[in-house]
Amino acid sequence: MRHLLYSLLLMGLSGCASQWASQQESYAGDDGSTMAVIEITSSPTSAWIFIDGVYVGATPIEMEMSFGAGTSYLEVAAVPIHDSQSRQVKRIKVPPLPKSIHFLMNNLP
């Protein structure tokens, strides 16, 4: 069974427009999981964010993410708040956790 913990650290405004290309420095959790703080953004509007089907908040968001030894991928979905935009999904191979994830909400899925 995949082990994934989520805890919301900090919500704030962010102007980051980069893709998730850069790697985040991670650290070990008390339970042996790998953890890192990740920034999730979207443009041109906000979006509701789900990680492996669990709602974690709306963009922009900074949050602590973790995954256990049996986890190979995390699925991060951005659900639009406007009908004219499309749901976006990114499947993130772990390790490592990315430093940031950005969704372009006007792109086709």
- Give the model confidence (pLDDT) of 54-92 as tens digits: 999 999 999 988 888 888 899 999 999 988 888 999 999
Placement of tokens 């792109």 in the chain: 107
Average pLDDT over residues 33-52: 92
Question: What is the residue extent of each domain of the chain?
Answer: 6-104
The pTM is what?
0.71
pLDDT confidence tier of residue 106, bands split at 50, 70 and 90:
confident
d(CA 45, CA 47): 7
pLDDT confidence of residue 68: 84
pLDDT confidence tier of residue 104, bands split at 50, 70 and 90:
very high
Query: Do 70 and 33 form a contact (C-beta atoms < 8 A)?
Result: no
d(CA 36, CA 5): 11
